[in-house]
Chains A and B, each alone.
Chain A
Amino acid sequence: MMTLFGDPAVWLPLTFAGLMGFSILVYVVLDGFDLGVGLLSPLATPEHRDRMIASIGPFWDANETWLVLAIGLLLVAFPQAHGMILSGLYLPVAIMLVGLILRGVAFEFRAKAPPGHKPAWDVAFFVGSLMTSLSQGFMLGMYITGLEWTLVAVIFSGLTAVFLTVGYSFIGATWLIYKTEGLLQLKSVEWARGGIWGLLGGVAAISIASPLASPRIFERWFDFPDSLFLAPLPLTFALIVGLVVLVLRRLPTGDDDFAILPFLATVILFTLAFAGLAYSFYPYVVPDRLTIYEAAAAPESLIIILVGAVIVIPVIIAYSTLAYTVFRGKATALSYD
């Protein structure tokens, strides 16, 4: 069965790179809005903050699990790359983990600790979200520049850290437009109007800097005639940004039509940006050092995982959809009753 689709040493690594890319993308979108809500939380009044956090309460755990899957796939499918990337990013990873810990436990503690402690846990919730987004953005920058701790790379990564954080805030704001109403929704629209420019700036900065940082990426993007096929990518991106800007001007509408539109459009924007990055790096899993083919684990083991993944991932998507359906509509106060 292994040779059914051709040489397993080719299609297996490719399939796993695809699966891993998929999980990273799902993670960035789903936990992106969770983190964004955390980043925006200090800007809101205490009542609004409760409502904002209620809008992500039933989901954040499952959303975060996509990170576990992405890292798990990197670990199991490309063990050598996993070691190289994570030991190269030792510090930012540690900061991200502490951030994720703070953010995750603050959810629970702020609701259960004595009322006097709540403001402190709110701070932990914000700081945790901030540490997580900044370090993820920083890691993205380091990855693009080839995991070398040079001054230029660090400065560039500092920029990507800020931009990713703005990007997360933006998708968080669009999520809130969809999940809230009244004054909070109005505020979210305002946040989103500001955030979109940050997102645009970030994507532009990465698009300009990556080809400069790596001659290989430069060639990939500007090699005629291949570059013609790529033109739709930035064009679609620009079109959707334009659309979002227009929609944001009109929201919220009286009967709350289109409230989900900015969020869905942002998902597409994230996907396009991600596709661009993936195109830049293929076939490398560690930029310019290790390809997915060199790094892949033994085919026998990959097959075992693939069988499980093919059966289970659709089921996961099905019950995740169930969870989102149960908690669809405007967020209400969370209660165990």
Chain B
Amino acid sequence: MDTLILSRIQFGANISFHILFPTITIALGWVLLFFKLRFNRTGEARWMDAYRFWVKVFALSFAMGVVSGITMSFQFGTNWPGFMEHVGNIAGPLLAYEILTAFFLEAAFLGIMLFGFSRVPGWLHTLATFLVAFGTTMSAFWILVLNSWMHTPAGFELRDGIAFATDWSAIIFNPSLPYRLSHTLISSGLTVAFLIAGLSALRWLWGDRSGEVRATLRFGAMLGALLIPAQIVVGDLHGLNTLEHQPAKVAAMEGNWETGGNVPLLLFAVPNEKTRSNDFEIGIPSGASVILKHKPEGVVPGLNDFVGENGEVLHPPVTPVFYAFRVMVGTGMAMLALSWLSLALMARRGQGTGSWAQTRRGVEGLPKLLLFAFVAMTFAGWIATLSGWYVTEIGRQPWLVTGVLTTEMAVADVPSGMVLSTLLVYLAVYGALTVAYIGVLTHLARKAAKGTLPPATPANPSPVAGSLHAAE
């Protein structure tokens, strides 16, 4: 394999590993702030217990995000020197602002947030929690500005193939940013919602009946139910925006070869890039035309429009984009079904008289099967997020910056053997760390669940909280 393809795989592997953790910390920071504020307001131990449990998950995820992020910042230089040479004048300031306004903020206040509880006044601890959450969101903002600019570049001029900034507000608020930013932030919220619901369901199944686990299971299900409709709407708008700016990507997502009207919405198909057609299709007639153009005879672009005069392919590889899109949307539909079903079941009236709020069944109303479903979906957010990014990023090929720079022009000329060997090391490390991460989350959940079971000392009303020490 050549350096180009290996470098792409290496970059893809590194950033796929990286995004797993920021996508948790971005929303979890805000969720922790919410737990903290609930506790400040109600004084109920369950919110503090929830804070104490999830702040550990946050600390672990944050560390994973930081170390993998450091790898990212070296990747541009080691693998894609052409990137900075051609568009460094735009990418540079954006990355610099991310470091200056976000990384230092979150890193400096993280220490206070994690270990400062008994060292600083309560308000400062709450403020530190806020600043960390704010910092992670700022990180996401700046990096997504850059990424969106790579998809829909604006506000620059080319001189001798090098991009120079002409209008910073056009660069920052480039056409795809609003959609990408909101879709990604909501995806972070969904990832966290299902992570919280999943681990809480696991603890429930292990016999944990604490107020904390009831609160977090319900919280996760509700957050998921709230966000998923928004995500679907924003995703749809995002697709329309992409249709305008990167039609070839949408053609690959839809698996549509010929431009025309009445294009079906393919539920499943087997795209074949050799015959340039689908070997097998099941679809809803005119579905894609209706979604993208809001009428059955709406004309949807086809992949065959993106073939050069000498037959060179100018559209992205179809198969990965097509399937990744279906995985993302399928996961989204599963999230929709599970969260709303569980909400409906929890809202049913139970025995006894009294107002609905007093008699609704709550978490007790969830059948075991549904709890298993939550456990199975613990990491559903990761799956949807990764597949969404594969759609986006592979769908941009052969461009690195749409219309400005091809991926090929940016690659470093390091020997492919070197890229391959480092790639294998990274993959081994990432594989081991992902297993360790999931293992430790399970371990934390088991320990917390055990802490609430009978042999716990009755003198300590909240044994879960009592046992949570960082250095234990």
Contacts and interface: CB of A to CB of B under 8 A. Distances in A.
A308 B97 contact: yes
B108 A79 contact: no
A179 interface: no
Contacts of A87: 77-78, 81, 412-414
B174 interface: no
Contacts of B97: 305, 308
B456 interface: no
B92 A77 contact: yes
A301 B84 contact: no
A100 B70 contact: yes
A11 interface: no
Contacts of A84: 81
Given A98-B429, A109-B436, A305-B93, A337 B81 contact: no
Contacts, number: 235
Interface stretch (A192-200, A243-251, A311-319): A311-319
Contacts of A98: 425-426, 429
B422 A65 contact: no
A113 B63 CA distance: 14
A323 B444 CA distance: 28
Interface in A306-337: 308-309, 312-313, 316, 319-320, 322-323, 326-327, 333-337
A105 B114 contact: no
B77 A297 contact: no
Nearest to A110: B471
A290 to B, nearest CB: 13
Contacts of B90: 301
B107 A336 contact: no
A91 B433 contact: no
Interface in B70-90: 70-71, 73-74, 76-78, 81-82, 84-85, 88-90
A83 B111 contact: no
B469 A337 contact: yes
Contacts of B168: 304
Contact of A337 (B85, B88, B117): B117
Given A300-B165, A336-B468, A68 B99 contact: yes
Interface string A271-315: 000000000000000000000000001101100110011001100
Given A76-B96, A109-B436, A104 B63 contact: yes
Given A59-B111, A300-B164, A79 B92 contact: yes
Contacts of B120: 326
- Among B85, B112, B436, the one with the most A-chain Cβ atoms within 10 Å of its Cβ is B436
Interface residues of B, number: 74
Interface string B384-405: 0000000000000000000000
A320 B118 CA distance: 19
Residues of B contacting A: mostly:
helix
A75 B95 CA distance: 9
A91 B414 CA distance: 10
Interface stretch (B54-62, B239-247, B250-258, B295-303): B54-62
Interface stretch (A50-58, A154-162, A201-209, A214-222): A50-58
B1 interface: no
B366 interface: no
A58 B117 CA distance: 12
Contact of A334 (B64, B108, B471): B471
B66 interface: yes
B369 interface: no
A72 interface: yes
Contacts of A308: 93, 96-97, 100-101
Contact of A304 (B84, B93, B101): B93
A94 B425 contact: yes
B115 A327 contact: yes
Nearest to B466: A337
Contacts of B471: 50, 54, 111, 333-335
Contacts of B73: 68, 71-72, 75
Nearest to B99: A72
A79 B84 contact: yes
A108 interface: yes
Contacts of B13: none
Contacts of A68: 69-70, 73, 99, 103
Contact of B99 (A65, A94, A107): A65
A34 to B, nearest CB: 13
Q: Which of B56, B413, B440, B465 has the most CB of A within 10 A?
A: B440
A112 B444 contact: yes
Given A82-B81, A326-B120, A336-B469, A61 B112 contact: no
A103 B66 CA distance: 11
Interface in B32-75: 52, 55-56, 59-60, 62-64, 66-71, 73-74
A323 B119 CA distance: 11
Contacts of B81: 79-80, 82-84, 86-87
B164 A86 contact: no
A112 B422 contact: no
A104 B67 contact: yes
Interface in A91-148: 91, 93-94, 97-98, 100-105, 107-109, 111-114
Interface string B110-151: 111011111110000000000000000000000000000000
B60 A109 contact: yes
A108 B63 CA distance: 7
B436 A113 contact: yes
Contact of A91 (B82, B111, B422, B465): B422
Given A68-B99, A87-B78, A91-B418, A316 B104 contact: yes
B109 interface: yes
A179 B60 CA distance: 25
A74 B114 CA distance: 32
A112 B443 contact: yes
Nearest to B117: A337
A62 interface: yes
A14 interface: no
A65 B436 contact: no
A102 to B, nearest CB: 8
A25 to B, nearest CB: 16
Contacts of A61: 62-63, 66, 107, 110-111
17 contacts: A61-B62, A69-B100, A71-B73, A82-B84, A87-B412, A98-B426, A102-B429, A104-B66, A105-B64, A112-B443, A308-B97, A316-B100, A320-B104, A333-B469, A334-B471, A336-B117, A336-B468
Given A75-B92, A76-B91, 15 more contacts: A62-B110, A68-B103, A74-B77, A83-B84, A94-B422, A94-B426, A98-B426, A101-B433, A105-B67, A111-B470, A319-B104, A323-B112, A326-B119, A327-B116, A335-B471
Question: Which 7 A-B pairs rank lowest in CB-CB distance, beginning with the nearest?
Answer: A83-B81, A76-B92, A58-B111, A86-B77, A79-B84, A79-B88, A104-B67
